[in-house]
Structure 1
Amino acid sequence: MKTFIETSLPNFKLRFADTGDVSLILGFIRELAEYEKMLPEVVATEDVLKESLFDRKMAEVIIGEYQEEPVAFALFFHNFSTFLGRPGIYLEDLYVKPKMRGNGMGKIILSYLAKLAIDRKCGRLEWWCLDWNQPSIKFYKKLGAVPMDDWTVYRVADEALYKLASDL
């Protein structure tokens, strides 16, 4: 039996995903990747997601349902700030189906994650946003989010990751 979290938006409820949601989560990831023009980069499979999310518990997923239909998701995990000496919540993905945008669902999900961060004694809630995604940037700034302009994200992946690991 699924446990729902009531929200201030009528007929919109949140819940934590379970193993029966793996296919749904992968579908949301693909929809988000298509929106971000990055669909070819999605190599995740249901088996990989099941292992990472539910067997190894490397991240958590919130599902947003409107009138009992899944219409949104957020995938997040804990990071740690050495300066604060506390964990934080890092939001990897937030996606609301296009037909449901503009109804406050994204804000409710972010509000829930903020509450979760406070309840878990986290020092911050943070995420990345693509530079071209002006609608999201405007939305985030309206919520009080501040871009970290002094920081540049670096990534080591694919062959470079294996090469770096071999330099040990």
Structure 2
Amino acid sequence: MKELIDTCLSDFKLRFAEIEDVSLILGFIKELADYEKMLPEVVATEEVLRESLFKQKNAEVIIGEYKNEPAAFALFFHNFSTFLGRPGIYLEDLYVKPEMREKGMGKIILSYLAKLAIDRKCGRLEWWCLDWNEPSIKFYKQVGAVSMDDWTVYRVADEALYKLASDSN
């Protein structure tokens, strides 16, 4: 039996994803990628998600259900702040289906993650947002989030990742 978490929005419940939700999670990922105009970059498969999320437990997923139907999801994992000496929660993705927006579901999920961060003795909750996503930026500022304009994100992936790894020998 899936444990449902009540929220302040009538008929909207949260729950932690289970292995049976892999197809649903991949569907949410693809919907989000399509919204962000990045669908061709999705190479995740159900098998990869099953391994990463439920066997290796590299991340956790919250599913938001409205009237018992999936309406939103958030995928997050723990990072660590050396300055704080404490873990944090990094929100990789938060997605609410377009027809479910403007009901407060995104804020409820963020609020739940903030509470989870406090319960787990984390020092912060953080995430990235695309520069062009003005609706999300406005929303994040309304909940008290501060952009980290002093920082630049760097990434090593694909061939560059393998090349860098081979340089250690």
Matches within 5 A, 1:82-121: 82-121=82-121
Give distance in 2, aligned partners of 1:102 and 1:159: 41
Look up the SS of the partner of 1:130 in the other structure. Answer: coil
Query: Mind listing any 5+ residue stretches in structure 2 that lack a counterpart?
Result: none
Partner of 1:131: 131
How far does residue 65 in structure 1 lie from its aligned partner after superposition?
A: 0.1
Partner of 1:24: 24
Matches within 5 A, 1:33-44: 33-44=33-44
Partner of 1:153: 153
- Please, what TM-score do these two structures have when normalized by structure 2? 0.99
Give distance in 2, aligned partners of 1:138 and 1:95: 16
Look up the SS of the partner of 1:122 in the other structure. Answer: coil
Give distance in 2, aligned partners of 1:18 and 1:52: 13
1:55 aligns with 2:50: no
Give distance in 1, aligned partners of 2:19 and 2:133: 31
Partner of 1:15: 15
Give distance in 1, aligned partners of 2:59 and 2:13: 20
The code of the aligned residue for 2:116 comes to L
Once the two structures are superposed, what CA deviation does each residue of 1:79-98 show, in whole Å capped at 9, x if it has no partner? 00000000000000000000
User: Which aligned runs of 4 or more in structure 1 are off by greater than 6 angstroms?
Assistant: none
Identity of aligned residues (%): 84
Once the two structures are superposed, what CA deviation does each residue of 1:11-45 show, in whole Å capped at 9, x if it has no partner? 00000000000000000000000000000000000
Look up the SS of the partner of 2:48 in the other structure. Answer: helix
Once the two structures are superposed, what CA deviation does each residue of 1:131-165 show, in whole Å capped at 9, x if it has no partner? 00000000000000000000000000000000000
How far does residue 72 in structure 1 lie from its aligned partner after superposition?
A: 0.2
